[in-house]
Structure 1
Amino acid sequence: MDDLLTDDFDCADSDDELDTFRAMLAFEPALERWREAVAHEERGENMEALIWYTRALEGMRAGELPSSLRDHLAISGRRRVRWALGVELDSIDRFGTAGTVEQADRYLDGLDALREPELRGRQVEVWSRSELAFARERWPVRITAESVTDYYREVERTLRRYGGDLTVVHRTADFFAGQTGQGSDQRVSWPPARNQACWCGSGARYKRCCGGEVLAAEGELAWGPARLRAGAELAVCRV
């Protein structure tokens, strides 16, 4: 049974939780329902998984604290599949741990804050290269190098529409969380000279980066949630 339990545990977010469930084999009915739920979730059968996770929590009322770690793990599984199904989270789900897909979704939603930079007092805020590099490292199938390039080119297009001498402020997620750490408030002047470093932080000269003539053409670049989330279904436990 331990081997089968190990096989069925891939969709849980923490390997440490496996040892906890091995110690809970006495809770046979709830454990079997949990294992059934995990098996469905692994196969991408999220609706069936939701039914079995809910059965594993029979007797628990909305708003009640989980009575055991076993309940907490079942709630976390229920939360994962409800999120994957697009079902609004309820008062029970808030006791569970957000899954990796939900965390990524919420982070990507936050990127929309600077999706279309606005001019405020001749100043424009954009995401820093370090922030998007962090995002790519953490969720490589959800944020691509091409989507990052598209983002800065779209910002360049916006800067050209505004015109004049502007200040570009590079922001990080820490800044919006109230943590003004290093790199959360870097400022550069726009436009730079053609042979100067590009304002976007790529390290390339402006004329060979965002200052290229190709941007003079009309049309919209495909940056945003749909572009950044290409391939999101390949993420852990997502179907």
Structure 2
Amino acid sequence: MLTTTTELTSADLDEIRQTALGAADPLGIAAGLAEAVDAGRLADPDDAGNALALAAEIAESRSKLDAALRYADRAVEAFGTRDDSASTNAKAVHARILFRVGRADEALAELEPLRPALTRHTDAAAYVTAALAAGGRHQLAEEWLTEAVQAALAERGSDPSSAEDAGLLFFLLQQRHRTRHQLGRSHDAHDNLADRLETRLANATTTGGGDELLFWPQAEFDRVIKEWPALAEVYGPTWDEHRARLERTLVGKGGTPLSGTADGLTRFAGDDDPAEAKARTGYARQLATQPAQITWPPERNGSCWCGSGLKYKKCCLPRARG
């Protein structure tokens, strides 16, 4: 349960999203988010929809579908007529839960207006596809994604892989490919384009393996190393070493730490091995398109970027000299 009486900022919500599922009482955190909305304890009242959608996802992950639906209902209501990435995601979560409670007609009615968002928001493909998959509508998902891919290609001309916003097209193609795999479809021209874009985008990522800016908060780091022990060589055998390696990379090359989760990596990898470099690089690129990443460097006397609660000068700053 969230017991703090201080206001929750957008950054707090981002941190909760990264850590809630690994917490001892995730359902208490979900209830606390709803209580913070009710009590007016959000630094930005416009975050109400985000907080309630997050509560819905947490409750859904624990199969508490009645609670999840209540939170999702409220999230959609809080967003009102907003038409942005966050509201799209919340509506897709709402539809996914409606499918899971047996209200398929309502779920489809919720999703149909979201189809244009597939070509506007990089994460819409994942949320809408997940909702349709929850209702067993894999073929419909393939149809929507194919239509979105064709529309995106029409906007990009003869060399789509060179477009600056090729990331959105890549995520559409990737979701489509995974859906087609579930349907037993054979490789087609769009799947070949997905392979080309993956190579192009991997090369465009900051030098190194492409995932060198991935940061795993401590609970997530422990899960990553437990589930994929070989990644200790990539990210370090301990969380202290992981932070030290990333701090040295940031000092040497700059950049923005990309806060990841074990569940997020698994979802992104789909049928691929999450420990493979290709999956990790793609996940890093997906995180890089999201708006609320970790600010680096912080002020010397400010809170450290790693989330330890210590001052930067007493925590990760000295690690760059190790």
**TM bucket normalised to smaller:** 0.3 to 0.5
Larger radius of gyration: 1
Which structure has greater helix proportion?
Answer: 2
Which structure has greater strand proportion?
Answer: 1
Larger RCO (alpha carbons 8 Å, 6+ apart): 1
